[in-house]
Structure 1
């Protein structure tokens, strides 16, 4: 079996005095530790050469490592960020969340702030799953051995959204003029853009209901962070001149361009495992955190990627790229990162709109062979995501 590129990275890090801190953007592992088949059943992990080899659980990356500081804060030993251990228990509008963290004093610190979406996503633990009561106890997408988390009381269990400070700069979301900021849902394992309560074009307070022309959301929770701003999550790309790009911030090497072929999940895994590029044959399909690490959230146009270094060949509206990470709630789905418009529709909408925002993490059905996509599998209580089984692929090593 070929050496895991993730293991190679860990060995390289261990050989240095600073370990992960030598990288300004150490990509923390998703921690997914189980392999799954196309219909969502747990399986023994395949061996090299077998179908479905190369999924997330088969490559161990930089493991999550936290220290409870005993003062209401938690240190992430990989990123150097310090986190609020117990979040506020009320939903806040975006600006109220910014103000809350800005005035927080905790653990002898007063430099708290709302995290960026890349900082927030670093906490995601993909061993989570949102189960119904008859199925068992749900597991949140965060390490509850060090972080406090409660499912919302008196609301749907999946309503565990947390704000990031990262505004969606490419346009309004949903079906009106809504300004949005990204957030991560620690209850159901998704990134999406949530309405801030402000008008995208004017910055004035929006009016109307959740699905109105200027809809507001009920607000999100906040978990504040302390640490140097504008450091973690910033890429340092280098064009290697051989069809690959290295991010010196994360230590990951990327296939510079996709090959303009859409594949179902099994074929995506096999494609990366078989890829030979720039004298390397240890390419893999990236996990969710690896792929999200190259999203350009500051770019005002589409796609949400730094086109000075990385190319996307497809010019369609939907630019979902596969990850090797199975989606915890529906295990016949795998996570995708959306570099184009993250389409959904709700209510009386007949056309899909950019509901979740480019840079969202959603999920797609692994295959339509022997399965049927229905409203039960593509819709939540709020909206119906655009879903296809064939997505684009960019490999990593």
Structure 2
């Protein structure tokens, strides 16, 4: 066939359009290079918190030796270090968990709209996107973040790979009002019997439950959502009772102390207890970091709905009374992770609540954050001065919290 200049021009246009489509993030699988996801060492491989600094009760300190106070905190132990790959198509692969993430969440949307978005998305050429569970979403948190009051200094997510919005202060939001919802609904309710969805705040480094609807209405609240795909077994535990006071999780490769010892401690004493523990002929126990401890929360349980703590019934938790003397609640448990927040960013430590995340609002003690929330308490104080109440939702602060130790399975 004889080609004139117009035919050649047309062919060149087709060529360039084809090239453009092959690089389009929203192209089909046939047009995209499909990126293989890594296989994690364990189906529920936990990403380390990223913490490398050491802290006392109120200061940054040099690395303590094994015989010194504050040994055994988060930075004393190195886990699966965070590792990501930018696929240059709007997606980020987590090389530890085998999960692929949406890089930019876009605008705030409702809970229902998030599932519609995931079902209809072909981001990166994939059609198996989903709204992440809370455990999947929490895999992205890094405790190298730092917040002072309502102002973010460093975010609790790797901003070299992920776009993370701040709250829009021009419309009256605080910078920390940029929470990311998960697909995990709270089995109980918070506040004034509000239907509640768990989310992670990557601005201030916390888990809490957020009302699904605006107060007193059927209007849906809107939040940020970050889609995920791959490794559908992530976040599923595989517990085995070893019959010697320990429980192994074959999914994470961690062994746990089956029962706490019924004693509440401040942070420094909790570190010491864990380092000195000998159980089942093992002496390499430690205080878990925040992400390790959150891995054993059972979000299908709560004191009000199952009359149990938010943990598998294989474990044993001390029952406590709340500040009003009511029975049937369960403790906060310390982690070895510091939470850099407040005027003195070194003075608080992360805990996971296996009972209700209570606070006082309008003079009423209630579950404001949900069983399985992650907050922080001052590391030290006079036991007789607690509980106290802090912040706009009157968070209960105990300071003397409980301990459940962990070690790596050989």
> Normalising by the residue count of structure 2, what TM-score does the alignment of the two structures yield?
0.81
Unaligned runs of 5+ in 1: 1-17, 198-208
Q: How does 1:1-397 map to 2 (within 5 A)?
A: 21-39=40-58, 41-88=59-106, 90-131=107-148, 138-154=153-169, 155-169=173-187, 171-175=188-192, 177-197=193-213, 209-210=214-215, 212=216, 218-229=221-232, 231-299=233-301, 300-301=305-306, 302-307=308-313, 309-316=314-321, 317-330=329-342, 331-346=346-361, 348=362, 350-369=363-382, 378-380=390-392, 383-397=393-407
User: What's the offset of the Cα at 1:49?
Assistant: 1.7
Q: Which whole-Å CA distance do the structure 2 matches of 1:57 and 1:324 have between them?
A: 8
Residue 130 of structure 1 aligns to a residue whose secondary structure is strand
Where do 4+ consecutive residues of structure 1 move more than 6 Å? 214-217, 370-375
Once the two structures are superposed, residues 322-368 of structure 1 have per-residue CA deviations (whole angstroms, 9 ceiling, x without a partner) of: 0000012142110100000110133x2x2221111111001111111
Distance 1:246 1:65, change over 3 A: same
Distance 1:132 1:345, change over 3 A: closer
Q: CA RMSD in A?
A: 2.3
Unaligned runs of 5+ in 2: 1-36, 322-328
Q: How many pairs were matched up?
A: 354
Tell me which structure has the larger Cα radius of gyration. 2
Q: Is the 8 A contact 1:352 1:386 kept in 2?
A: no
Distance 1:180 1:370, change over 3 A: closer
Q: Which whole-Å CA distance do the structure 2 matches of 1:315 and 1:336 have between them?
A: 16
User: What's the offset of the Cα at 1:374?
Assistant: 11
